[in-house]
Amino acid sequence: MATATAETSRKTGSWGRSGPPLIEVDNITKHFGSVIALGGVSLSVDRHEVHCLLGDNGAGKSTLIKTLSGVHKPSSGTFRVEGQPVAFDSPREALDAGIATVYQDLAMIPLMSITRNFFMGREPLKGIWPFRFFDFGEADQVAREEMARIGIDVRDPEQAVGTLSGGERQCVAIARAVYFGAKVLILDEPTSALGVRQTSMVLKYINMVRQKGLGVIFITHNVRHAHAVGDRFTVLNRGQTLGTYGKDEVNLEELQNLMAGGKELQDLSAELGGTV
């Protein structure tokens, strides 16, 4: 497995990059008092790229995505968006810069309609101020069209979003972010609670999003899902970057070993006489 090749490729632009990365962090750290959550993480995300972020529990994935999405401010390091240094004070600033995060809980209200969930906080209005109100006709049409683009037939946009399958709800959340102008999508374990068919639906849609020119950060514990759709893979371990690898530089088994601490398991196996 190559270790230096990935970094060389990233710098020379052999990932197909045109212009600066959509986002790039260099040696980012985050301290909570005496606790070091991130001890130096570097990665970049290009257009048309799915960059998978892998790591065991406690590796720093959650802290990193909250730093990228404006929830936390880094303690040190450099954060650039399309080549320009940024320092977000809130998730709203990150969203305005085109960085949208889809968390596991999806931030949806199950009993509300697909349309209301799709436009929550960004409702189209009609009428003359101060007598303006939610334009349900336009919102329903947009929700139906955006769902049709990803192969989901929504006969009634007013149906409760809770009636959709888990995969369909994931796609609604992703489609919402894309519709409102996201340049980079951060997907937090989007396939963790899904079955095979629903996982396939979400992975296919992630591929569609990449083809539109967006960058995707795909956080997952499932190496098979990552390897199926990812272009590059960054492995975190105890708040530090263990390495970044292209798809042609690392196979499924090697990724699994990196993520699960293969060397540590080998050492333990030797210590216990090969019983692990």
| Cβ-proximal residues to 11 (8 Å cutoff; 6+ apart), any chain | none
The mean pLDDT of 17-37, rounded to a whole number, is 89
Which residue type, as a one-letter code, is found at position 118? F
Section 246-257 average pLDDT: 86
Q: What is the pLDDT of residue 129?
A: 81
pLDDT at 221 over 70: yes
Q: Which pLDDT band, with edges at 50, 70 and 90, does 11 fall under?
A: very low
* Cβ contact 189:163 at 8 Å: no
Domains in the chain, ordered, with CATH? 4-98+183-271 (3.40.50.300), 109-182 (no CATH)
**Average of per-residue pLDDT across 138-157:** 86
pLDDT at 184 over 50: yes
Distance CA 69, CA 99 (A): 6
- Residue 93 burial by Cβ neighbours in a 10 Å radius (0-12, 13-18, 19+): middle
pTM, entire model = 0.84
Residue 25 confidence (pLDDT) above 70:
yes
Average pLDDT over residues 208-218: 93
Distance of alpha carbon 240 from alpha carbon 261, whole angstroms:
13
Residues 206 and 194 sit within 8 Å (Cβ to Cβ) = no
Q: Where do the H-state alpha helices sit in 20-119? A: 61-68, 91-96, 114-118
Asked whether residue 146 carries a pLDDT value surpassing 80, the answer given is: yes
Cα-Cα-Cα-Cα torsion 81, 82, 84, 87, nearest 10 degrees, comes to -10
149 or 259, which is more confident? Answer: 149
Structure tokens at 265: 């398991």
The count of C-alpha atoms lying within 13 angstroms of the C-alpha of 108, restricted to the half-sphere facing its C-beta, is 30
What is the share, in percent, of the chain residues with pLDDT greater than 90? Answer: 47
CB atoms inside a 10 Å sphere around CB 257: 19
